[in-house]
Each structure stands twice: as C-alpha cells, then as structure tokens.
Amino acid sequence: MVEGGIGRFGWKAQTSTLREFSADALLNELGITTPDFPDEVGPGGGPVTCDAISDPEDDGSGIEELAVFMQLLAPLQPGRAPGIGRGRGLFRKIGCTGCHVMMLRTGENDSRALHRQRVRLFSDLLLHDMGPELADGIEQGEAKASEFRTAPLWGAGRRGPYLHDGRAVTLEQAVLAHGGEAQTVRARFQALTAEDRAAVLAFLANL
C-alpha cells in the first residue's frame, strides 16, 4: 500500500499511479519539477546554481499528458517460433505462473481501450521476497531489501540486461538468479533437460 493506494509501479511497487511514477522520474532523472514534486533536488545534496527557471517548471499539464501517453501504449505482440507451445506448458508446470500470472484483466474505466481488457502481462504486480542474493539494500514503502514487484515479462525478449540491477545478461541468467520465494521453481527449471530449458527460454524470448 502506498498512501492509501495499491503500489503497482517501480521495482519495489513504491508508486500507485503512472502520474506519480512519471513525476518522480522527471524530477530525479531529468531535474524537471512539477506540482507533484515542486522542489529541486540539488546535485550531491548541495544548492542548485544553474537553473534560472522558476518552479514548478511544468504546470501539471505536461506530466498529465505523459501519464496518459504511457497509459495508452499498446503492448508488444508476442513472437512466433518453434517450441513456444511446449515452452508455455513447461512454464506453467514448473510453477512460474505462481508469480508471473499469464493473464490479468483491467477494471472499470471510462476509456474503451482500458475497460475490462485482458492483458498478457505475465505478472501479479505483487511484492515477493527474492532472497538475499538479489537484495539491493533498499527499502521503499513496505518493500524490504530483498522484496521486489514481479517484473512483467511481456516483451522480455526485446530488452535486456535483466533484473533490477542489470546483472543478468541473458534470460537464463535471470531465471537462475531467482531465490527466496522462487527457489523451488528455480530448482525445477534446473532439473529440466537441456531441451526443455531451451523451450522455456524460447517461450520467454517471444513474449
């Protein structure tokens, strides 16, 4: 929970709305202040000396348009390759869908594009303890150092490196880094034959 809302965005599910997520990124990554975050973040904690623009630099309209733009981005279409169906079945069988839920449905919304839509997100959007090896030492909101929101897997084959700190260059390395609540599932993946592991990875690469 984040100030009465349900956290859904960020590695630690520390943000409940796209607007807040966007405003936080604008401030901390680009130095743009908004009505949501009107105070500059000084470099190294020191004073801001090279910004003559009065704050907030965005009056709220820009951040709202950015949030709507992201909200209406269409999901990537899954690819097609040999072995995907088998990989999907193995993905379920070894228990990956316990966290990487294959399908969610959106709620009520005034926009037809968002109203009651089936979404192949491959995430439950919840926090899970991933074990001490992945812990980043950061606690945000209710999330502890080893807890992370389940990363959505749609488009996984089109991005990388993986995990919160980019330590995994390949999808297989990302799977093998899972610990904590995912320890048993990782062991099941490791116990698969080389051919079956390749089928699972092919499925993930084509989401």
What is the count of structural domains for the chain?
Answer: 2
**What value does the CA radius of gyration of the chain take, rounded to a whole number of Å?**
20
pLDDT digit string, tens, across residues 113-143: 999 999 999 999 999 999 999 999 999 989 9
5-53 pLDDT per residue, tens: 899 999 999 999 999 999 999 999 999 999 999 999 988 878 888 888 9
Tell whether 137 is covered by a domain. Answer: yes
Residue 109 counted as domain residue? yes
Q: Are residues 53 and 132 in the same domain?
A: no
Position 45 in a domain: yes
- So what's the pLDDT on residue 179? 98
CB 203 within 8 A of CB 88: yes
Are 52 and 39 in contact by the 8 Å Cβ rule? The answer is no
The CATH number given to whatever domain includes residue 163 is 1.10.760.10
pLDDT above 80 for 195: yes
Residues 55 and 141 in one domain: no
User: Rounded distance, CA 70 to CA 62, Å?
Assistant: 12
94 in the same domain as 58: no
Residue-wise pLDDT tens digits, 68-109: 999 999 888 888 887 799 999 999 999 999 999 999 999 999
Peptide bond into 75 cis (omega under 30): no
For residue 123, being part of any structural domain is answered with yes
Q: What is the pTM of this model?
A: 0.90
H or E segment and range at residue 62:
helix 61-71
Domain that holds residue 31: 18-71
Strand boundaries in 71-157, DSSP class E: 104-105, 118-119, 127-129, 147-149
Q: Is 79 inside a domain boundary?
A: no
pLDDT at 48: 85
